[in-house]
Structure 1
Amino acid sequence: MHQIFVYGTLLKGMYNYEIYCSAEDSYRQKAYVDGLLYSLKGRRYPALIEGKERIAGELHEVSEQTLKKIDELESYFGEGHPENEYDKKFVMAYAEDGSEIGEVPVYFYNIRNEKNRALLDQRITCNDYRKYVE
């Protein structure tokens, strides 16, 4: 099984959680990573880029098969691939009390790609996608 940090449509109860993760009951706990959260023009999912804000999300534990499906969902083709919509990076995740959980893979929006960078819209200043869409 693989731990991943999610912050958007894969959050428990959101539409991609139901499609990709609910069968494995993958949710483990609320968590946070450092970054900046943005909405995307014409999209119904967020973008996380590097930054210093504490971004709310969840730790999930998924099978190898589910991880591959999530890589496809996130248009992740491999480390450093120029066409990635999201890059997978290992960063420190924190529990709600601020204690370190450990380094886990997180999908960061690939702003090296000009097409992706042009889609960045407004900062999600509440740093919590679930609160933003409610």
Structure 2
Amino acid sequence: MSKLQLYLISFLLITSSLVHSASKNEIDESMYQAFLLITKKDFISSNAAYLAILEHENDMDLSQLSNIYNSLLELSYILDNKDDAKKYGNKLISIIKDEPDYVKAYERLKYRICSSQDWAKFRYIFIEHCG
């Protein structure tokens, strides 16, 4: 079986498990599988897997949502997709910026997108958050 077939099967398993309303554990398991694709440097399949998980956004808690949007933001940087970076970065900011339990996460995110060298190429996208 080729690598492509293996990845396709993995992706289909992830997405098919999410066709119905998903439990917290099912979402967590799908997130883990999407993360494993990142560790294998299969960024396109991982991105697709995270997007499939978002189909169950209404079934997710804030922790799951923030982790998924953070992963999609990271993947958008890796895949050099400024439109996705803007979309997922702004969504992540909007869901965590006023949450007391996410103050540190918000500050780390803000530092990363506004000050770190590794995100310099997309800094202009988040200028309204960097003032």
Please give the range of the TM-score, normalised by the shorter of the 2 chains: under 0.3
Q: Which has the larger radius of gyration?
A: 2
Q: Which has the higher contact order (CA 8 A, sep 6+)?
A: 1
Q: Which has the higher strand share?
A: 1
Calculate the TM-score normalised by the size of structure 2. Answer: 0.27
Q: Which has the higher helix share?
A: 2
